[in-house]
Structure 1
Amino acid sequence: MKLFRLAAVLAVLAGPAYAQMPNLNLLQDAPSKTPEEKAAEAERDKAYKETLKKIPDSKTSNDPWGGMRSDPPKQPAAPKASAATSAPKKSKSGTAAN
């Protein structure tokens, strides 16, 4: 039982130290690109950006429920300062506060 406790304590103490270790990738994921592949990719990117410029900006709302909504709720009027100070405050029981 003591050995189990010792292993649990070591695992808890080693967790934060393990989390601080850098993630090293010693193997390359893919080989580097040839100059022809780089040129072809640059040409594709340029054509893509030119195509994006041809798309017109949307001026209308795309809200399908826009016609179903009513006017936005109106803000309630602010209470008048003179009416709030002249009226006596009432407690929860309904009697005037002293």
Structure 2
Amino acid sequence: MRILSAAVMMVLLTAPAYAQMPNLNLMPEVVTRTPEEKEQDAIKDKAYKESLKKIPDSKAASDPWGTVRSNDTPKAAAPAKPKTGSAANTPR
């Protein structure tokens, strides 16, 4: 009886985890394309590439804040030098 109840408890505990597993088909059947379909795809790809060539080059990016900012960047402050000598080692 104990073995049966332990088995039932294991099934009940694993059922929610099993229910959350997605039903994925990681190995779909391989579908081959006919030569006509390959030819149509090649024609579509060629037309797409030609249409991309017809798009004009973009202009330089406009900067609406360009006149507000200055071209000079602020310089960082020089790092502080550590004190040396007897004054640095004396307790306060």
Report the TM-score range of the alignment, normalised by the length of the smaller protein.
0.3 to 0.5
TM-score normalised by L of structure 1:
0.45
Q: Which has the higher contact order (CA 8 A, sep 6+)?
A: 1
Provide the TM-score with structure 2 as the length reference.
0.46
